[in-house]
């Protein structure tokens, strides 16, 4: 059965029922189904809001992953932005544009994937919109709350800061490269570093923070783009997943380049003042592996040493 057979009102009702089954925390005063949703922040909290789209044949291909995985990734991309601000999730809205020819089973898969991550991270679906279109796209707006004045931002970076990254980078890019060569579907969905982000808001010597969605190099550029700083990155320190080099070489890929330009890692890339905690202490506070990969210097002082010719890695839309 296709969406065109279902009709708009039944389509909306179907998504609403799934959202209600998934439940919602007490701070949701009014969930899906009215003109707007109502959410309650705690006193002394600021609202954090971020928006991201996944577009068919740009961000995903139906053949390289299940609808469920696409749904999961769509929400995770937004939750990762909340993590990078140190926010706790409150809820999200979904604007779905889709052709009427989409299979209802595919829609159900997308929604199930979204709601799986929603439950896992306490971030309920609170509203949305469906519209006909020639290609499928999911636009998600995620809402979060952060203690007043304590949000992590890119602006926090300073000269001399030490640069850290959580977890490992490159794994998702390798999985994508394999899928694009027909060597299996994308199954692993990186998890947003929500707990780590919130723990970072309590680190007194914290600098700036960003999540790695476009690729380590590109997001490092984003982190520094309004500054006169540059990063001195020790390439050999970039934390790679186990077996990553060998797997890359088997595919004819250069491991370091893939790790720095791949993207969708959803690790946190952040800076800490020189007097702040080191990687070991940070790892304990954040509950995740943390690696020191470099330092921020005045832009003129840094000799850039990047693999490949592109100044940014990362996907460009235009």
String of contacts with a copy of itself for each residue 106-125, x by CB under 8 A = --------------------
Give the contacts of 200 (CB within 8 A, at least 6 positions apart). 86, 152, 206, 209, 268, 270, 286
In this chain, which stretch among 65-73, 133-141, 247-255, 298-306 interacts with a copy of itself, using CB under 8 A?
Answer: 133-141
Contact status: 310 vs a copy of itself (CB under 8 A): no
Burial environment of residue 317 by CB neighbours within 10 A (0 to 12, 13 to 18, 19 or more): exposed
Q: How far apart are CA 231 and CA 233, in angstroms?
A: 6
Phi and psi based region of residue 38 (left: phi greater than 0; alpha: psi -120 to 50; beta: remaining): beta
Q: Report the b/e string of 224-233 with b at 16+ CB within 10 A.
A: beebebbbeb
Nearer to a copy of itself, 8 or 304 (CB): 8
Give the separation between CA 198 and CA 151, rounded to whole angstroms. Answer: 9
CA 268/CA 276 separation, integer angstroms: 17
Q: Whole-angstrom Cα distance, residue 189 to residue 143?
A: 21
Q: Cβ closer to a copy of itself: 62 or 232?
A: 62
Cα–Cα dist 237/115, whole Å: 36
Please report how close the Cβ of residue 212 comes to a copy of itself at its closest, in angstroms: 11
CB of 299 to a copy of itself, least distance (A): 18
Q: Roughly what angle, to the nearest 10 degrees, separates helices 104-120 and 67-85?
A: 30
> What mask, x for binding a copy of itself by CB under 8 A, covers residues 34 to 73?
xxxxxxxx-x--xxxxxxxx-x--xx--------------
Write out the binding residues for a copy of itself, residues 19-38 only, by CB under 8 A.
Answer: 29-30, 33-38
- Under the binding rule (CB under 8 A), the answer on residue 18 touching a copy of itself is no
**Least Cβ distance, residue 246 to a copy of itself (angstroms):** 33
Residue 133 binds a copy of itself (CB under 8 A): yes
Q: Report the distance separating Cα 19 and Cα 23, nearest Å.
A: 7
The 199-238 contact track toward a copy of itself, x by CB under 8 A, reads -----------xx--------------x------------
The residues that bridge with 297 in the sheet, in sequence order, are 230
Query: Under rule CB under 8 A, which residues in 155-194 are in contact with a copy of itself?
Result: 155
The distance of closest approach from Cβ of residue 237 to a copy of itself in the complex, given in angstroms and rounded to an integer, is 24
Report the C-alpha gap between 248 and 4 in whole angstroms. Answer: 43
Whose Cβ is closer to a copy of itself: residue 7's or residue 274's? 7
The nearest distance, CB 43 to a copy of itself, in angstroms, is: 6
* Residue of 15, 74, 114, 146 that binds a copy of itself (CB under 8 A): 146
What three-state secondary structure class fits 313? coil
Q: Which residues bind a copy of itself (CB under 8 A)?
A: 3-4, 6-9, 11, 29-30, 33-41, 43, 46-53, 55, 58-59, 81-82, 84-85, 87, 90-91, 93-95, 97, 100, 126-135, 137, 139, 141-144, 146, 148, 151, 153-155, 210-211, 226, 316-318
């Amino acid at each position: 059965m296709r969406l065109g057979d279902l009709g708009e009102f039944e389509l909306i009702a179907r998504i609403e029922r799934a959202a209600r089954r998934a439940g919602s925390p007490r701070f949701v005063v009014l969930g899906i189904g009215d003109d707007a949703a109502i959410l309650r922040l705690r006193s002394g909290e600021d609202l954090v809001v971020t928006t991201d789209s996944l577009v068919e044949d740009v961000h995903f291909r139906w053949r390289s992953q299940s609808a469920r995985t696409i749904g999961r990734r769509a929400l995770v991309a937004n939750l990762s932005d909340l993590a990078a601000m140190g926010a706790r999730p409150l809820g999200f809205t979904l604007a779905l544009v889709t052709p009427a020819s989409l299979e209802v089973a595919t829609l159900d898969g997308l929604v199930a994937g979204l709601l799986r991550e929603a439950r896992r991270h306490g971030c309920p679906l609170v509203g949305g919109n469906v519209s006909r279109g020639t290609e499928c796209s999911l636009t998600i707006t995620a809402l979060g709350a952060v203690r007043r004045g304590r949000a992590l931002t890119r602006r926090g970076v300073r000269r001399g800061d030490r640069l850290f990254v959580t977890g490992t980078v490159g794994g998702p890019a390798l999985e994508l490269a394999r899928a694009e060569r027909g060597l299996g579907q994308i199954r692993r969905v990186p998890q947003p570093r929500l707990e780590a982000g919130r723990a970072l808001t309590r680190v007194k010597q914290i600098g700036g923070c960003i999540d790695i969605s476009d690729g380590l190099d590109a997001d490092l550029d984003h982190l520094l783009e309004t500054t006169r700083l540059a990063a001195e990155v020790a390439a050999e320190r970039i934390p790679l997943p186990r077996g990553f080099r060998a797997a890359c070489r088997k595919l004819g890929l250069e491991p370091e380049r893939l790790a720095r330009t791949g993207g969708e890692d959803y690790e946190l890339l952040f800076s800490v003042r020189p007097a702040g905690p080191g990687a070991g202490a940070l790892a304990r506070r954040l509950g995740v592996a943390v690696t020191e990969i470099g330092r921020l210097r005045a832009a003129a002082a840094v000799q850039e040493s990047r693999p490949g010719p592109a100044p940014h890695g990362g996907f460009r839309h235009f």
